[in-house]
Amino acid sequence: MTQGRLILSETGRIVMAAIFALVVTLIIIFFASKTPWATFETFITSPLSSKRTIGIWIDDSAKLALAGLAFSLVFQARQFALGVQGQVYIGGLFATLVAFSPVGTTWIALPAGILAAMIGGAIMGFIPGYAKSKLGANEIVSSLMLNYIAYDVCNYILRVYLASLESGLTTSASFPPQSIYPAFIPRTRVDLGLVIALVTTLVVWFLLYRTAWGLKLRLTGHNARFAAYSGIRSSFIMVSAMTAAGAIGGLLGAVFVQGTAYGKLSIGFEAGMAFEGILITIVARNRPLAIPFVALGYGYLRQGAALMNYRADVPAEVIGIVQGIVILLVASSFTVPGKAMLARLMGNRTAASRATS
Amino acid sequence: MNEILATILSATFVAAVIRTTTPILFASLGGLLSDLVGSLNVALEGIMLIGALTAVIVSAHAPWYIGVLAGLAAGGFLGGVMALFHLRFKADIILVGFAINIIAAGGTVTVLNYATGGDKGTSINIPSKAIPELDLSFLGNIPAVGPFLSEVFSGHSYLTWLAAFMVYAIWYFLYRTPEGLRFRAVGEYPPAAEAAGIAPNRLRTYGLIASGCLAGLGGAQLAMFSFVGFTRDMTAGRGFIALGAVLLGRRHPIGTMVAAVLFGFFEALSIALPGILQWMPGELIHTIPFVVTVIALMLSSRRRLIA
């Protein structure tokens, strides 16, 4: 397949997924709303209704893209570690600790917070990876358990050491201004997080498609046994992929708490957004460069659902049903038969580097 | 320390362990059946949640056993949906499982919102019913051990006894019937099973449906006995812990039961501890079942690697 045709077919797939999502939403709204057409119109048009809502859409999309990138790295290695949520909490916690340390009021606050968050996330990614490769512990279960543990630990430290007494809610005090991303457009949530998401996309793409490590990772993901026979230390690749993905998850945590939308740590700050990265990466078929576009599209639907919650009679949680059904449809309708994939892998190098799903 | 020991050894604590184990045991047995045929069911969590909500809503309008059956049917239906997408449309089973979990997390809140007329948190204003307790207080008449026995075994849900029976029934099915042998063969090495004239996909479908039914029962027990009423995300990771119990129990019904009891024990402990150890923060006590799952998973897998 030439590059042009590949982009065309991938775009077609993503557009198909968007159509699925819209049709599913329309059907649900017809069942759930007393005024379905008006509700559907709210759903479709409201994200663009003001500067503020557009800002939220862009900011959410940047976060969704980061979550998608974290999942795509582990899924490319054909690991099903689902620990991004826990990594986000630990990353957010570490960034918070930096923000309240003496460093937090200096110019180094932002990079230090990001670095600390990435280290925290990387540790959270490493644990299930190591447990899988050295001890044979199932990574799905261990990474999910770590999510619950990270959530509780984060809440504990927040409640006991960081909670600010001025509000009734359990949140920390606001970060010093040096530790909060500056907004690019005043009075919106469009901030440094957008740049971080775009840079991370390019870095992940580069790592996967332009380095030996990335080739080995994708080979391991396609056929672990084949990779092992070709002399690839697949357990090292596996663990390093999960650690790198953990670093992205931690980074997302920093983007959450240091972003203009928050600027502090609060209970359950990611509100389930980390898991929505699964949808992003499945629709993008783990391709880093497609992830920002899918994130923009899904972020739009998500924002539409949230506003529908306020302005119409359909709850925002509907988006979860839409998301699940889109995953089912996308995951089932675009499966490449294993034989064809193997043939492509065994073919010439360029073919191998393109066979990615 | 003595206080903790005294609590753990008391009859009320043993009874609490039985109560916390029951939902996990149902879900683990479900996970076992699907895992044996080679389709790891990561949707146990979501199926339990949907089963719980279905049971609550139906029991508000019908006798309790109809509510339980509705939870079971909802679970079986979801198992069938998983089988359809995984086997017929060739979607990855893990992704299908996660899609079900995501639908369950959002869908239960949406349905709850309509069923209660706007409450997204709990079903407190729906007059749902509870599963009655099975009264075995006559055990108290046995000399010496009577009071202990009656405190441990009396007053449990009917479903608890069904769960205990299911462990035996599933063991009998898997190891004493020809169909059970086929069931295990499919998961072990599908091509061989196919060569022997067994249709793997048919058995996988049965495995997934049965797995959904059992997880649905677990959900019904949770929402109609452990707590009466539905709250959002009330499964709180029990489905995933159940998955851990399957792996920890070496994919054997008895082993799975032992692992489920272990997790039930730590859940009951995490409920009992705040009263005893007041200095220990609640959040950290809450992590105990999850930490135990991770550690148990690592240790048990290690032994398997060495052996």
pLDDT tens digits along B37-82: 888 889 999 999 999 999 999 988 888 889 999 999 999 999 999 9
For residue B40, the chain A residue with the least C-alpha distance is: A140
The reply to whether residue A323 touches residue B301, judged by beta carbons under 8 angstroms, is: no
Q: Which residues of B touch A331 (CB under 8 A)?
A: 85, 91-92, 95-96, 99
Please report, as a single letter, which amino acid is at residue B111: V
In degrees, to the nearest 5, what angle opens at C-alpha B293 toward C-alphas A151 and B26? 105
Residues A156 and A25 sit within 8 Å (Cβ to Cβ): no
Q: How is chain B classified by DSSP, letter by letter?
A: -HHHHHHHTSHHHHHHHHHHHHHHHHHHHHHHHHHHTT---TTHHHHHHHHHHHHHHHHTTS-HHHHHHHHHHHHHHHHHHHHIIIIIS---HHHHHHHHHHHHHHHHHHHHHHHHTS-SSB-TTS----PPEE--GGGGGSTTTHHHHHHHHTTEEHHHHHHHHHHHHHHHHHHHSHHHHHHHHHHH-HHHHHHTT--HHHHHHHHHHHHHHHHHHHHHHIIIIISBS-BTTTTTTHHHHHHHHHHHTTT-HHHHHHHHHHHHHHHHHHHHHHHH-TTS-HHHHHTHHHHHHHHHHHHHHHHHHH-
DSSP helix/strand/coil, A211: coil
pLDDT at A165 over 70: no
Closest CB to B304 among A136, A324, A332: A136
Full pLDDT tens readout for chain B, 307 residues = 677 777 777 878 888 888 889 999 999 999 999 988 888 889 999 999 999 999 999 988 888 889 999 999 999 999 999 998 888 888 888 889 989 999 999 899 888 888 887 777 777 777 777 788 877 777 777 777 777 777 777 778 888 889 999 999 999 998 898 888 888 888 777 777 778 778 888 888 999 999 999 999 999 999 888 888 888 888 888 999 998 888 888 888 999 999 999 999 988 888 888 777 777 788 888 888 899 888 888 887 765 554 4
Dist. CA B52–CA B101, nearest whole Å: 14
Per-residue confidence (pLDDT) for residue A1, from 0 to 100: 55
- Smallest CA–CA distance, residue B57 to chain A, in Å, is 17
Please report, as a single letter, which amino acid is at residue B47: I
Q: Is A280 left (phi over 0), alpha (psi -120 to 50) or beta?
A: alpha
Question: A279 — contact with chain B (CB < 8 Å)?
Answer: yes
| This prediction's pTM | 0.87
pLDDT at A353 over 50: no
- Smallest CA–CA distance, residue B78 to chain A, in Å, is 13
- Smallest CA–CA distance, residue B131 to chain A, in Å, is 29
Q: B120, B115, B100, B108: which is closest to B49 by C-alpha?
A: B108
Per-residue confidence (pLDDT) for residue A354, from 0 to 100: 43
Question: A32 — contact with chain B (CB < 8 Å)?
Answer: yes
The reply to whether residue A320 touches residue B107, judged by beta carbons under 8 angstroms, is: yes
pLDDT tens digits along A207-216: 999 999 998 8
Dist. CA B189–CA A108, nearest whole Å: 57
Question: B281 — contact with chain A (CB < 8 Å)?
Answer: yes
Contacts A–B by Cβ distance under 8 A = 145
Report the number of secondary-structure helices (H) and strands (E) in chain A: 15, 0
- Smallest CA–CA distance, residue B110 to chain A, in Å, is 6
pLDDT at A333 over 80: no
Q: Is A172 left (phi over 0), alpha (psi -120 to 50) or beta?
A: beta
Q: What is the ipTM of this complex?
A: 0.87
pLDDT tens digits along A148-163: 999 999 988 988 888 7
Question: A328 — contact with chain B (CB < 8 Å)?
Answer: yes
